[in-house]
């Protein structure tokens, strides 16, 4: 590690704040130790939420208090990080801890640990190791206890390489996306974390944008899509877009018009498309009416009237505890029939997107029956 | 490469670049320019009868002083053939406007570029620009290449406007047949000990900042040592154009602020203007009211493949935190 910090003399209010020398605890990687103590603000809130659910007092993230402890090579006693001390006295857990964490079985714990072991700090899309570890128990509890998800034919998911998972969308709030991500994570070996593509609009929402990024969801731009597939990731898309989640009860489980960008990228990246049917999402918040003029006025994708919303206020948006069934279809390997240049043919791309749509609709119809 | 002129060599990045160039055997002489007194760090490099390093005080934002320097006998004797334009940064990132409310950074870029074009001996100019000139889309994952759109919104924050103006000035001369112009767009530059430069929100004196609540954008970072390596590689390359240079790491703004002793206080959106006004009025030096700009809401990372292909730049330093002697975690750059 370089000890040359002469440039530091310029910083500050014209003073000379010469930085103290960095001293590394013997036998440890300074980065690993340091990052273990760093807790993201969002993660801190998730920890607080977890503690609240455990019946304890929620610890609201506090500002760090710098301690004046000094660790030297001569006295190799590791001090707890002063930055993380108020809410993370222990090093970052490899597996989640807390009330929800007790619900997690051994196998799921191992999958999560294997996944977390591959993540270092933050990736360039914002996925955070700590954020994922903290969010997992809560969504796992929803997966197992609230939506009681049943998974079928998950062995059809390719174990490696880039894939596009295309699913139907519904239910006002995107719990179907969370359940689909968890289902793939729990039923692949080695575990794969699908990166869900979300609406650009979600990126403008305070707090929501940070949460989405930390748990691995990515705003849907062409560049992001191409890079994810280029990295060999599994990408989860809802080709219906917003139309899927705001369709009225009369249209439930009827797929809306598909966007076609995912087919273009699958062709270019030579990735198979795995059709997915998510049954239950359209029943979790049936929309009676969508007051479109009000939605336009408020700049929202939908202004729904459901049996519970807006009558019960924000609580009315909570999904009903319906049972989910997630069914996977045979991977559609368009890239084996067409060259990457075929992605430039709009007619062909539209036809292939319609083929995916028919495959998903067939899965839905078959499994609903 | 024979003799190199480095601007703002008295500021941290300039110091680092001069140091790297001084150890480069292909560089025969270095003319370091700065506004302040000669830095003590240069003393070892100025030994001997004909030292390889020559330091000159100059105000780069003033036409007369720059013109006199480029036409001086000293320039001819040194035979300067390359210019490294390091922008104003550090404790005073933006000087007062000099002419017609043009920011000092823009004025300096214009004058240095103009005189580099006019001086026959100068063959190449490597300029440090900012990666915060790009237009950011909503979300935390803006993967920016050199072809990405610049943010030309007329309502853009003033601290970004001078960067964009400078960028476009250099951009206009890429087609020059005589002068080889390379523009390196760098993200937030961090240096060991908890220092940060060229980040519009975090630059300047250490202390608290305000930021919009509910947003914690990813910040691309680079070590100051890697910036100096990139400049040296760009000087030796036989290419021109614009290049992104960055480290592999991306760090959320809140964490980067903590690591660099500039914690960012989240303020709800509707109160930002009030908070900013209060900060500007009562905050003093330790609390700055910079909250404008999409870079405080939307994250980015840079695609550096073009720099790797053109002049073989790959980051050699990893940016993270380590515990300093006083027990506080501070940003550190460690060789990979």
Q: Hey, which residues 92-151 in chain A have their CB within 8 Å of chain B?
A: 121-126
Strands B195-197 and B188-191: antiparallel
State whether A31 and B143 contact (CB < 8 Å). no
Contact A288, A250 (CB under 8 A): no
State whether A203 and B140 contact (CB < 8 Å). yes
Q: Does a structural domain hold residue A197?
A: yes
**Segment among A27-36, A178-187, B45-54 with least mean pLDDT:** A27-36
Contact A48, A69 (CB under 8 A): no
Question: Which residue's structure tokens are 């069934």?
Answer: A325
Q: Encode pLDDT of A318-359 as tens digits.
A: 999 999 999 999 999 999 999 999 999 999 999 999 999 999
- Measure the CA–CA gap between A322 and A282, rounded to whole angstroms: 10
Does residue A190 have a cis bond before it (omega within 30 degrees)? Answer: yes
Q: Does a structural domain hold residue A221?
A: yes
Q: Does a structural domain hold residue A314?
A: yes
Distinct helix (H) and strand (E) counts, chain A: 12, 9
Evaluated on CA atoms B147, B153, B154, B157, the torsion sign reads negative
- Report DSSP state, residue B134: B
pLDDT score recorded for residue B45: 87
pLDDT score recorded for residue B320: 84
- Measure the CA–CA gap between A337 and B162, rounded to whole angstroms: 51
- Measure the CA–CA gap between B45 and B41, rounded to whole angstroms: 8
Q: How far apart are the first and last CA of chain A?
A: 65
Q: pTM value? A: 0.81
> Closest Cα to residue B13, out of B173, B169, B191, B267?
B191
How far apart are the CA of A130 and the nearest CA of chain B, in angstroms? 13
- Say whether pLDDT at A365 is over 50: yes
Mean pLDDT of A201-206: 88
Q: Does a structural domain hold residue A15?
A: no
State whether B139 and A218 contact (CB < 8 Å). yes
Using CB atoms, which residue from A22, A126, A205 is nearest to B332?
Answer: A22
Cβ-based burial of A251 (10 A; exposed 0-12, middle 13-18, buried ≥19) = middle
How far apart are the CA of A17 and the nearest CA of chain B, in angstroms? 10
pLDDT score recorded for residue B275: 76
Contact A64, B258 (CB under 8 A): yes
Q: What are phi and psi of B150, to 5 degrees?
A: -80, 155
pLDDT score recorded for residue B321: 82
- Measure the CA–CA gap between A213 and B58, rounded to whole angstroms: 46
* Cα Dmax for chain B: 63
CB atoms near residue A361 (< 10 Å): 16
Cβ-based burial of B203 (10 A; exposed 0-12, middle 13-18, buried ≥19) = buried
Strand, coil or helix: B268: coil
Q: For B239-323, where are the E strands, in sequence order?
A: 241-244, 250-252, 264-267, 287-288, 300-302, 317-323
Mean pLDDT of A191-212: 92
Q: Encode pLDDT of B127-161 as tens digits.
A: 999 999 999 988 888 889 999 999 998 888 777 88
State whether A206 and B212 contact (CB < 8 Å). yes
Residues in B closer than 8 angstroms to A217, CB to CB, are none
Structural domain count, chain A: 1
A299 touches chain B (CB under 8 A): no
DSSP H or E stretch at residue B211: strand B208-212
State whether A210 and B216 contact (CB < 8 Å). yes
Residues in B closer than 8 angstroms to A224, CB to CB, are 141, 143
Q: Which domain holds residue A311?
A: 147-368
Contact B166, B123 (CB under 8 A): no
State whether A34 and B320 contact (CB < 8 Å). yes
- CATH no. of B3-200+219-247+301-335: 3.40.50.720
Positions in chain B whose pLDDT score sits under 70:
1, 91-101, 276, 279-280, 282-292
Q: Which of A18, A32, A35, A203 to mutate to test the interface with B (most CBs of B within 10 A)?
A: A203
Domain with A234 in it: what CATH number?
Answer: 3.40.1130
- Report DSSP state, residue A128: B
Contact A331, A153 (CB under 8 A): no
Q: Hey, which residues 182-201 in chain A have their CB within 8 Å of chain B?
A: 200-201
Q: Encode pLDDT of A43-86 as tens digits.
A: 565 555 555 544 444 343 333 333 333 333 333 333 333 333 22
Q: For residue A36, name the pLDDT band (cuts at 50, 70, 90).
A: very low
- Measure the CA–CA gap between A148 and A323, rounded to whole angstroms: 5
More confident residue, A107 or A67: A107
pLDDT score recorded for residue B118: 93
Q: Encode pLDDT of A205-261 as tens digits.
A: 999 999 999 999 999 889 899 999 999 999 999 999 988 888 989 998 999 999 999
CB atoms near residue B157 (< 10 Å): 18
Question: Which residue's structure tokens are 């560089």?
Answer: B27
Q: Which residues pair with B31 in a beta bridge?
A: B5, B54
- Report DSSP state, residue A22: B
A205 touches chain B (CB under 8 A): yes
Q: What are phi and psi of B280, to 5 degrees?
A: -65, -35
pLDDT score recorded for residue B150: 93
């Amino acid at each position: 590690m370089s000890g040359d910090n002469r440039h530091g003399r310029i910083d500050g209010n014209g003073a000379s704040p010469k930085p103290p020398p960095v001293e590394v605890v013997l036998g440890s990687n300074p980065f690993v130790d340091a990052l273990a103590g760093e807790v993201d603000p969002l993660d801190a809130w998730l920890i607080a939420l977890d503690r609240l659910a455990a019946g304890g007092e929620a610890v609201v993230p506090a500002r760090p208090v710098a301690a004046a402890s000094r660790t030297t090579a001569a006295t190799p006693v590791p001090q707890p990080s002063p930055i993380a001390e108020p809410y993370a006295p222990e090093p970052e857990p490899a597996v989640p801890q807390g009330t929800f964490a007790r619900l997690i079985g051994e196998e799921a714990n191992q999958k999560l640990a294997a996944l977390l072991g591959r993540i270092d700090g933050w990736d360039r899309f914002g996925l955070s190791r700590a954020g994922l570890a903290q969010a997992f128990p809560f969504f796992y509890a929803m997966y197992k206890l609230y939506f009681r998800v049943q998974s079928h034919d998950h062995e059809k998911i390719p174990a490696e390489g880039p894939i596009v998972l295309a699913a139907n969308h519904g239910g006002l709030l995107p719990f179907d996306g969370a359940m689909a991500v968890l289902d793939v994570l729990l039923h692949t070996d080695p575990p794969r974390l699908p990166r869900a593509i979300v609406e650009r609009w979600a990126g403008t929402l305070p707090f929501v944008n940070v949460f989405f990024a930390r748990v691995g969801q990515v705003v849907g731009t062409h560049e992001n899509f191409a890079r994810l597939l280029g990295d060999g990731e599994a990408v989860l898309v809802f080709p219906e877009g917003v139309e899927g989640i705001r369709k009225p009860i009369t249209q439930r489980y009827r797929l809306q018009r598909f966007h076609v960008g995912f087919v273009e990228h699958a062709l270019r990246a030579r990735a198979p498309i795995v059709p997915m049917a998510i049954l239950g999402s359209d029943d979790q918040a049936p929309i009676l009416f969508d007051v479109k003029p009000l939605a336009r006025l408020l700049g929202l994708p939908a202004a729904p009237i459901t049996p519970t919303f807006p009558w019960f206020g924000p609580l009315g948006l909570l999904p009903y505890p319906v049972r989910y069934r997630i069914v996977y279809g045979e991977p559609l390997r368009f890239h084996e029939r067409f060259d990457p240049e075929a992605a430039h043919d709009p007619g062909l791309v539209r036809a292939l997107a319609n083929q995916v749509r028919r495959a998903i609709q067939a899965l839905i119809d078959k499994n609903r029956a | 490469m024979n003799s190199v002129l480095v601007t703002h060599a008295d500021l941290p990045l300039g110091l680092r670049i001069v140091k790297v160039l001084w150890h480069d055997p292909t560089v025969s002489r270095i003319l370091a320019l700065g506004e302040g007194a000669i830095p003590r760090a240069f003393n070892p490099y100025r030994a001997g009868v004909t030292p390889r390093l020559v330091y000159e005080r100059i105000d780069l934002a003033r036409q007369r002083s720059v013109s006199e320097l480029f036409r001086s006998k000293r320039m001819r004797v040194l035979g300067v053939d390359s210019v490294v334009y390091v922008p104003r940064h550090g404790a005073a990132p933006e000087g007062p406007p000099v002419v017609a409310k043009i920011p000092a950074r823009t004025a300096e870029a214009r004058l240095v570029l103009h005189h580099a074009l006019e001086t026959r001996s100068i063959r190449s100019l490597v300029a440090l620009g900012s990666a915060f000139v790009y237009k950011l889309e909503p979300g935390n994952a803006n993967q920016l290449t050199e072809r990405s759109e610049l943010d030309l919104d007329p309502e853009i924050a003033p601290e970004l406007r001078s960067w964009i103006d400078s960028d476009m000035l250099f951009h206009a001369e890429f087609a020059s047949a005589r002068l080889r112009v390379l523009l390196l767009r760098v993200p937030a530059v961090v240096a060991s000990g908890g220092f940060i430069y060229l980040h519009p929100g975090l630059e300047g004196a250490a202390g608290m900042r305000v930021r919009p609540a509910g947003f914690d954008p990813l910040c691309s970072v680079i070590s100051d040592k890697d910036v100096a390596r990139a400049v040296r590689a760009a000087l030796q390359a036989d290419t021109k154009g614009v290049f992104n240079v960055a480290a592999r790491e991306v760090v959320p703004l809140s964490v980067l602020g903590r690591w660099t002793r500039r914690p960012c206080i989240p303020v709800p959106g509707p109160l930002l203007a009030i908070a900013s006004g209060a900060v500007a009025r009562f905050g003093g030096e330790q609390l700055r009211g910079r909250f404008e700009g999409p870079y405080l809401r939307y994250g980015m990372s840079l695609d550096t493949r073009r720099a790797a292909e053109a002049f073989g730049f790959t980051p050699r330093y990893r940016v993270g935190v380590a515990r300093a002697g006083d027990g506080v975690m501070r940003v550190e750059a460690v060789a990979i």
